[in-house]
Amino acid sequence: MVAEIARTGGSPEVRASYADRDRVVDVLRVAAGEGRLTLEELEERLEAALSARTVGELAALTADLPAAAGQGSAEAEDVVRIRQEGASTRRGDGWVVPRRLEIRSAWGEVSTSPTR
Protein backbone atom coordinates (compact mmCIF):
# COMPACT_ATOMS: atom_id res chain seq x y z
CA MET A 1 0.00 0.00 0.00
CA VAL A 2 2.94 2.31 0.52
CA ALA A 3 3.50 1.92 -3.22
CA GLU A 4 -0.02 3.25 -3.78
CA ILE A 5 0.80 6.38 -1.78
CA ALA A 6 3.96 6.82 -3.84
CA ARG A 7 1.95 6.33 -7.04
CA THR A 8 -0.41 9.11 -6.04
CA GLY A 9 2.46 11.55 -5.54
CA GLY A 10 3.04 10.81 -1.87
CA SER A 11 -0.29 12.13 -0.63
CA PRO A 12 -2.17 9.81 1.73
CA GLU A 13 -5.24 12.03 1.33
CA VAL A 14 -5.94 10.90 -2.25
CA ARG A 15 -9.29 9.14 -2.49
CA ALA A 16 -9.12 5.33 -2.61
CA SER A 17 -10.56 3.45 -5.57
CA TYR A 18 -12.39 0.11 -5.57
CA ALA A 19 -9.19 -1.48 -6.92
CA ASP A 20 -7.15 0.02 -4.05
CA ARG A 21 -9.58 -1.44 -1.52
CA ASP A 22 -9.59 -4.84 -3.27
CA ARG A 23 -5.78 -5.02 -3.19
CA VAL A 24 -5.74 -4.34 0.56
CA VAL A 25 -8.48 -6.92 1.16
CA ASP A 26 -6.40 -9.50 -0.73
CA VAL A 27 -3.28 -8.68 1.32
CA LEU A 28 -5.25 -8.96 4.57
CA ARG A 29 -6.77 -12.32 3.63
CA VAL A 30 -3.39 -13.76 2.71
CA ALA A 31 -1.86 -12.39 5.93
CA ALA A 32 -4.61 -14.08 7.94
CA GLY A 33 -4.03 -17.32 6.03
CA GLU A 34 -0.35 -17.13 6.95
CA GLY A 35 -1.26 -16.70 10.62
CA ARG A 36 -0.21 -13.04 10.80
CA LEU A 37 -3.71 -11.87 11.78
CA THR A 38 -6.32 -13.42 14.03
CA LEU A 39 -9.87 -13.85 12.78
CA GLU A 40 -10.96 -10.86 14.89
CA GLU A 41 -8.17 -8.68 13.47
CA LEU A 42 -9.05 -9.78 9.94
CA GLU A 43 -12.73 -8.92 10.37
CA GLU A 44 -11.87 -5.55 11.90
CA ARG A 45 -9.42 -4.65 9.14
CA LEU A 46 -11.67 -5.89 6.33
CA GLU A 47 -14.49 -3.67 7.59
CA ALA A 48 -12.10 -0.71 7.79
CA ALA A 49 -10.68 -1.44 4.31
CA LEU A 50 -14.08 -1.62 2.68
CA SER A 51 -15.13 1.69 4.22
CA ALA A 52 -11.79 3.52 3.76
CA ARG A 53 -11.97 6.80 1.88
CA THR A 54 -8.27 7.53 1.33
CA VAL A 55 -5.16 5.55 0.40
CA GLY A 56 -3.68 6.71 3.70
CA GLU A 57 -6.42 4.92 5.62
CA LEU A 58 -5.73 1.79 3.58
CA ALA A 59 -1.97 2.02 4.11
CA ALA A 60 -2.46 2.08 7.88
CA LEU A 61 -4.24 -1.30 7.69
CA THR A 62 -1.21 -3.07 6.22
CA ALA A 63 1.59 -1.02 7.81
CA ASP A 64 2.48 -3.73 10.35
CA LEU A 65 2.54 -6.51 7.75
CA PRO A 66 5.66 -7.49 5.81
CA ALA A 67 5.89 -6.05 2.32
CA ALA A 68 5.84 -9.57 0.88
CA ALA A 69 2.59 -10.53 2.63
CA GLY A 70 0.03 -11.22 -0.01
CA GLN A 71 2.60 -11.24 -2.79
CA GLY A 72 3.75 -14.60 -4.07
CA SER A 73 6.49 -15.18 -6.58
CA ALA A 74 3.84 -14.85 -9.27
CA GLU A 75 0.72 -12.79 -9.59
CA ALA A 76 -2.65 -14.52 -9.60
CA GLU A 77 -4.46 -14.40 -12.90
CA ASP A 78 -8.00 -13.05 -12.97
CA VAL A 79 -9.48 -16.09 -14.75
CA VAL A 80 -8.01 -19.51 -15.49
CA ARG A 81 -9.93 -21.89 -17.71
CA ILE A 82 -9.28 -25.61 -17.60
CA ARG A 83 -10.92 -27.55 -20.43
CA GLN A 84 -10.24 -31.18 -21.07
CA GLU A 85 -11.92 -34.28 -22.44
CA GLY A 86 -11.12 -37.86 -21.63
CA ALA A 87 -8.06 -37.12 -19.51
CA SER A 88 -6.98 -36.05 -16.05
CA THR A 89 -5.70 -32.60 -15.14
CA ARG A 90 -3.93 -31.66 -11.94
CA ARG A 91 -2.85 -28.36 -10.40
CA GLY A 92 -0.82 -28.50 -7.20
CA ASP A 93 2.54 -27.38 -5.84
CA GLY A 94 3.75 -24.07 -7.18
CA TRP A 95 0.40 -23.20 -8.73
CA VAL A 96 -0.91 -19.74 -7.93
CA VAL A 97 -4.66 -19.94 -7.43
CA PRO A 98 -6.51 -17.50 -9.71
CA ARG A 99 -9.26 -15.13 -8.59
CA ARG A 100 -11.70 -17.17 -10.67
CA LEU A 101 -11.42 -20.73 -11.97
CA GLU A 102 -13.60 -22.16 -14.74
CA ILE A 103 -13.45 -25.92 -15.21
CA ARG A 104 -15.05 -27.88 -18.03
CA SER A 105 -14.40 -31.56 -17.93
CA ALA A 106 -15.92 -34.36 -19.99
CA TRP A 107 -15.05 -37.98 -19.24
CA GLY A 108 -12.15 -37.03 -17.05
CA GLU A 109 -10.99 -35.74 -13.72
CA VAL A 110 -9.72 -32.37 -12.54
CA SER A 111 -7.89 -32.16 -9.22
CA THR A 112 -6.75 -28.92 -7.59
CA SER A 113 -4.85 -28.19 -4.40
CA PRO A 114 -5.57 -24.52 -3.64
CA THR A 115 -2.95 -23.93 -0.97
CA ARG A 116 -1.76 -20.49 -2.11
Helix (H) or strand (E) holding 33: helix 18-33
- In angstroms, the CA 78 to CA 17 distance is 18
Segment 89-111, tens digit of pLDDT:
776 666 677 778 788 888 877 77
Segment 55-85, tens digit of pLDDT:
999 999 999 998 754 444 445 567 778 777 7
- In angstroms, the CA 27 to CA 64 distance is 12
Segment 21-32, tens digit of pLDDT:
999 999 999 888
